[in-house]
Structure 1
Amino acid sequence: MGKLGRFACIFTPMALSIASLLCLLLVFLGGLNKNDSNLSSLWFFRADASDFLANPDFDLISGTDIDDHILQAFRTSASSNKLKDFYTVHLWNYCSGDIKGDDFKLTYCSPRQASFWFNPEEVWGLNNTAAERFFPKQLDKGLDVYRKVSKWMFAAYSIAFWVTVAEIVLGIFAIFSRWGSFVTTIASTASTIMTLAASATSTALYGSLTGAFNTVLKPYHIKGELGHKMMVVTWLAVAFSFGAGLFWLISTCCCSGKSDKKRVKVEKTPYTYERVASPYLGHREQHGGSHEMHNMGPQQTGKVSAYEPFRHT
């Protein structure tokens, strides 16, 4: 098959590995630039407070001091412009903006930091207020779990990204041998495991956070939403990585890359003969143009036989 066939054999897993890397890159680039509508649309979670801001003076439940404290804190945050229409949470940071009709316009993105987690009490200016003491315990517990797990999630995405880069680099060496494919398969397996772990963690984490927001903050007209586009991108990364690992494994068994050279084996034609000296006729010597026979056998004959012996080979 040769090197060309070997290259064709690893083209599919290499393309799938690159596709997985691009999906992971999109996860990292989400929220990078508030002016880029494509990247800003890639978020894990969105909190929508536009309904509250549209009517911040609504009466919640009469005779409930705890709810009134939280409601008053939200009103204070809204009056000081700390509470925006919506917030989107990304891997590195969060962004906020205004809603005009059906248009979600980003106006601010926080600085990017590793192991980021979205703390609504701090972002909305509710810390060091009465609302912080009375904030629903269910949401507090959810945020505490979110803070701890978000560190693991960020580490899993980072490891998955760099292991996928290593997989692609090793895949170049896989062009030359099946041993290269074997080493690349190991890297691909690690990449798939980490990508799967990161995607499963982010899905469960932000799914739980969405549920907590919609349960606890629903009376305040604040709702949460899971980022479906980001979920599609991160699970596509898993699918591409799994497919790449499968084809890398297949390439360890097929397409050796060695040319199939036909070896022409020359054999002697059967039943050939070689002429040998006769033990009966002896050999001839020339002396002055005359021929003299010397008998090599035990008896001498004065005649030259017409028979010429041959040796079978």
Structure 2
Amino acid sequence: MAIFGRRKKEEQEDGVKDRDSSEDTLNDERAFYKKPTGLRIFIALVYLIAVIFLILVEIGNINKKAVIKNTYFLKINLANVIPESVPNAVLINTIAQSLGLHDFYQVGLWNYCAGYNGEGITYCSPPTARYWFNPVEIIMSELLFGATISLPTELTDALSLVRTASQWMFACFIVGACLSFLCIFLAPLGFSKKPRWSHKARRIFLRQLPITVLTALALLFTAVGAVVATVMFVIFKNKFSEAADFNIEATLGTQMLAFEWVAVGMTLIGFLMQLGTCCGVCCCTGKRKAERKRQSAIQEKH
């Protein structure tokens, strides 16, 4: 009878252990699905900031309203196109303006704007998809009938490259903004609180993987657009500066460059956070600890 009593007691203890184990598993699964609200809000704000700055990049220079008119990639000043060392330079510059030239031209993603130093912007071209800045065509079209001006050959030789780069830049910024907008709502879904490696974890990992790919694409398109814009307009600026026969001042739009690179930084932060979460589910989610716990439970039963 003692033997049967001992066996019954062991069976009861095993039942208690099994219930404890099942409760632990249930708690693990509940913890797995428990979302850290703080991280979800933070990554949503990160992508919201990225979208806001990308929108500022895309609406920059489309009109002469405050902030927008100061957001441009490049500004060229033709007010003193003839150097002062040339005799009667002031008179010649005045004649050049009377022929139809504006004092300055500035470039945005969709169009260009022109104006005079004393008046500000007086004209903005209609926004055009895949716009590219062609100073030769613009200046020649603004000159009065029969007037001509010889522009630097360094500039005209680079126009074919500028056209291709501008179209890529336009597409990358538009796609990057759309993907970043989607990340505001989808990226927070990829966060879990210390999940255990189990069938549930594998399923969540497969859900997180496409979100990680989405954040990677948002970063890729935004970064490529920013790199192309920065490199292209730096080259443009240098080409104008290399024109020794002309006194053309070219300046980069620091506000536009700051906006685009802030957007790149935000998408980079979002991607790294999502990548860390995805890797955490795959490699750093307590898999070894769970395996040790399972082994110890097997040894106790035997």
Q: TM-score, normalising length from structure 1? A: 0.66
Q: Give the SS at the match of 2:172.
A: helix
Identify the residue that residue 160 of structure 2 maps to in structure 1. Answer: 144
Higher normalized helix content (fraction of residues): 2
Q: Give the SS at the match of 1:220.
A: coil
Identify the residue that residue 162 of structure 1 maps to in structure 2. Answer: 178
Question: Deviation at 1:77?
Answer: 5.1
Is residue 45 from structure 1 mapped to residue 74 from structure 2 by the alignment?
yes
Is residue 118 from structure 1 mapped to residue 144 from structure 2 by the alignment?
no
Question: Deviation at 1:25?
Answer: 0.8
Identify the residue that residue 98 of structure 2 maps to in structure 1. Answer: 79
Is residue 14 from structure 1 mapped to residue 44 from structure 2 by the alignment?
yes
Q: Give, in whole Å, the separation in 2 of the partners of 1:89 and 1:235.
A: 18
Q: Give the SS at the match of 1:50.
A: coil
Aligned residue among 68, 81, 88 for 2:106: 88
Q: Give, in whole Å, the separation in 2 of the partners of 1:58 and 1:180.
A: 72
2:44/2:185 contact within 8 Å kept: no
Is residue 192 from structure 1 mapped to residue 192 from structure 2 by the alignment?
no
Q: Give, in whole Å, the separation in 1 of the partners of 2:41 and 2:206.
A: 16
Question: Deviation at 1:206?
Answer: 0.3
Deviates more, 1:230-239 or 1:168-177: 168-177
Question: Deviation at 1:58?
Answer: 4.4
AA aligned opposite 1:189: A
1:178/1:251 contact within 8 Å kept: no
1:44/1:88 contact within 8 Å kept: yes
Q: Give, in whole Å, the separation in 1 of the partners of 2:232 and 2:213.
A: 29
Question: Deviation at 1:184?
Answer: 1.8
Question: Deviation at 1:136?
Answer: 3.0
Q: TM-score, normalising length from structure 2? A: 0.69
1:191-250 Cα offsets, whole Å, 9 max, x none, are 11111111110011000000111111x533221111111111111111111001111123
Is residue 215 from structure 1 mapped to residue 231 from structure 2 by the alignment?
no
1:65-110 Cα offsets, whole Å, 9 max, x none, are xxxxxxx8x8765213x2111111000001111213xxx7212111
Q: Give, in whole Å, the separation in 2 of the partners of 1:197 and 1:79.
A: 41
Identify the residue that residue 115 of structure 2 maps to in structure 1. Answer: 97
Question: Deviation at 1:11?
Answer: 2.3
The number of aligned residues is 238
Higher normalized strand content (fraction of residues): 1
1:38-58 Cα offsets, whole Å, 9 max, x none, are 111110000011224898x84
Structure 2: 5+ residue stretches without partners: 1-30, 193-203, 286-302
Change (3 A) 1:130 1:142: farther
Q: Give, in whole Å, the separation in 2 of the partners of 1:182 and 1:20.
A: 21
Change (3 A) 1:171 1:12: same
Change (3 A) 1:234 1:205: same
Identify the residue that residue 268 of structure 2 maps to in structure 1. Answer: 242
Structure 1: 5+ residue stretches without partners: 61-71, 257-313
Aligned residue among 24, 27, 49 for 2:57: 27
Identity %: 24
Q: Give, in whole Å, the separation in 1 of the partners of 2:50 and 2:76.
A: 29
Question: Deviation at 1:178?
Answer: 5.8
1:52/1:221 contact within 8 Å kept: yes
Question: Deviation at 1:139?
Answer: 1.2
Structure showing greater Rg: 1
Q: Give the SS at the match of 2:121.
A: strand
Q: Give, in whole Å, the separation in 2 of the partners of 1:75 and 1:119.
A: 24
1:77/1:124 contact within 8 Å kept: no
Q: CA RMSD in A?
A: 3.2
